[in-house]
Amino acid sequence: MQIKNLMSTTLITIDKDQSLADALKLLRKNKISRLPVLNNKELVGIVSERDIAKKLGSSKYESMPASRLHVSSVMVKDIISVPQTMRLAEVAEIMLENGIGSVPVMDGDEMVGIVSKADFVTLAVDGEYDKICTKELMSKDIKSVSPSERLVHARRVSLDSKVGRLPVIDDETLVGMITSKDLMRAFIDFRKKVPEKYQKSQIKEVLVEDIMSTNPRVVTKDTCISEVAKIMMETGFNGLPVVEDDVVVGIVTQTDILRLIAKLEA
């Protein structure tokens, strides 16, 4: 199958000179995690929730409102794109090798679509994916935080580990999840509510438990990958904790499913 048969042709884009506040509105309205960035209709970058969370949480920009920052100051400029005729397995390998969540799809110099890990997950809802269990894919190297730790610490763990989803664990029990989206929104809401002169000191008082999602969806080691894919499609979650006897023993993500698809398609 060629990537043009999987890509999304509904393109939600933003101009490089628009503000991060504009980008946030588009991300929220369309329930997406990244935006292609244009300059005079030419593709010049990609901006994601994680990029925005990284920027807004940095000490250099900690007191600057999103309305004063341009998309061009946050976007990733080294764009990796693929032709619409490229095979699925090749695109999957490119995404895995470069650690990226989506790629623009081109017809010559024109962007005609975009494909993300979430699009690939739709391929794993039946067939041979019914016979593969979570325990065969999940990562056992779990990066987590506790509910009493600071928001700024969770941001640092997320960035250093290059993960967009952290289980929140209290006394070995899963009590919540915190994502790049949660971090981004928390920094935005904090800036709106707290006067600028108090932000530097008060940001240290915001805790993980203040912004985490509670009662997270979980799977077991024996859950089939087709069921994991269905849960991801239903919820929009890009990763699910794997739990055994109320203890987190792993995490399965869209990246794990993408790696499986690349292997099977090849």
3-state secondary structure the chain: CEHHHCCECCCCCEECCCEHHHHHHHHHHHCCCEEEEEECCEEEEEEEHHHHHHHHCCHHHCCCCHHHCEHHHCCECCCCCEECCCEHHHHHHHHHHHCCCEEEEEECCEEEEEEEHHHHHHHHCCHHHHHCEHHHCCECCCCCECCCCEHHHHHHHHHHHCCCEEEEEECCEEEEEEEHHHHHHHHHHHHHHCCHHHHHHHHHHCEHHHHCEECCCCECCCCEHHHHHHHHHHHCCCEEEEEECCEEEEEEEHHHHHHHHHHHHC
pLDDT of residue 43: 92
pLDDT in tens, 127-150: 889 999 999 999 999 999 999 999
Question: If phi over 0 gives left and psi between -120 and 50 gives alpha, with beta otherwise, what is residue 161?
Answer: alpha
| pLDDT, average across residues 43-55 | 85
Q: Is the pLDDT of residue 63 over 80?
A: no
Q: pTM for the complete prediction? A: 0.86
Q: How far apart are CA 219 and CA 106, in angstroms?
A: 37
Mean pLDDT of the chain: 90
> Taking residues 57-74, what's their average pLDDT?
75
Which is the CATH superfamily of the domain at 3-123?
A: CBS-domain (3.10.580.10)
Domains 3-123 and 127-254 alike in fold: yes
Predicted local confidence at residue 233, as pLDDT: 93
Q: pLDDT value at position 61? A: 64
Q: Which tens digits make up the pLDDT trace of 188-237?
A: 788 778 887 888 888 889 999 999 999 889 999 999 999 999 999 998 88
CATH code for residues 127-254: 3.10.580.10
pLDDT band for 174, please (50, 70, 90 cuts): very high
pLDDT at 109: 87
Residue ranges of domains in the chain? 3-123, 127-254
